[in-house]
Amino acid sequence: MIKQAIIPLAGLGTRLLPLTSVFAKELLPINGKPGIEYILDECIEAGITEIIFIISKKKEMIKNYFYNDKFYKSLIKKKKDPRIIKEYKKILKYKKKIKFVYQNKPLGTGDAVLKTKKFIKNKYFLMLLPDDLIMKRNCSKDMIKLHNKYKGSVMASMSVQKNNVNRWGIYSISKKLNKQNFIISNVIEKPSTKEAPSNNAVIGRYILNRNIFKILKRQKKGKGGEIHITDSIKTMIDNKSLFIGHKFSGKYLDCGSMSGYINSTLEISKL
């Protein structure tokens, strides 16, 4: 059973500067709601009961957002405004499910995952990358169903343009299970167009086996000097672990770049 999710939130968000010079990008409003709340709603609706946030000292604003009880209580006492009461109740609902761990040096997604090692109780857990919003269909829920059927790891995926493969983790397929699901035989982090084995990109939803921690402990730095989860996933695949690529239904929104972030608000307002 998959009951825990982890969300790496310690990234610097340089693609969203100057906003991120003072603000945590995951709290930036997308159509009036902080991006992170879309991710939390997806988790909770998929049956996740505990969500581990990996933050840094620089991103403590995220913790404060969920731990502002005094402020809400005094406001509610004075105003009794039903909207504020409703918003506070929502924050409390999230807060009950969230735990915080710290990654103070931005060493990469693989290093962020390793920080959650002692909190993961079950064999498999879910990871969501907050830059990637998937609307109209709960991708995590679909991936959990798939995991329950095949008992392996799952990564969300979509086809990208050949000249854009160096922005993503790119995987190759050894077997087609059906129209949407594939057994993965290899994965490369941000390959050049020449190196790329396909144009199947990994998108920020992963169901991982906790065996990955053993590999992450020994993981060397990869592209850009960072410790990539993709490189440890490659080792697991080489060691015969089952990884399924799931081409999700639903609408993908990239909130990590300025143009993508602006576009997300426009797209969500149309839903």
Binding stretches for ligand G1P (CB under 6 A): 109, 129, 131-132, 168-169, 189, 201-204, 228, 230, 256
DSSP reduced 3-state for 5: strand
In 3D space, the residue among 68, 53, 190, 202 whose CA is nearest the CA of residue 130 turns out to be 53
Which of 142/189 has CB closer to ligand G1P? 189
Min. distance of Cβ 223 from ligand G1P in angstroms? 9
Q: 97 vs 190, which CB is nearer to ligand G1P?
A: 190
Write out the DSSP string of 49-112: -EEEEEE-GGGHHHHHHH--HHHHHHHHHHH--HHHHHHHHHHHHHHHHEEEEE--S---HHHH
Contacting residues for 253 by C-beta, under 8 A, at least 6 apart: 132, 133, 134, 135, 260, 263, 264, 267, 268
C-beta of residue 199 within 8 angstroms of C-beta of residue 171: no
Residue nearest to ligand G1P (CB): 169
Report in angstroms how near the CB of residue 233 gets to ligand G1P at its nearest: 9
Both tokens of 125, joined, read 């857990």
Using the minimum distance from each CB to ligand G1P, give the nearer residue, 32 or 259: 259
Least separation in angstroms between residue 256's CB and ligand G1P is 6
> Of the two residues 34 and 256, which places its CB atom closer to ligand G1P in the complex?
256
Give me the least distance between CB of 201 and ligand G1P, in Å please. 5
Give the residue with the Cβ less far from ligand G1P, 34 or 169: 169
- Shortest CB 83 distance to ligand G1P, Å: 34
**Does residue 16 contact residue 254 with C-beta atoms inside 8 Å?**
no
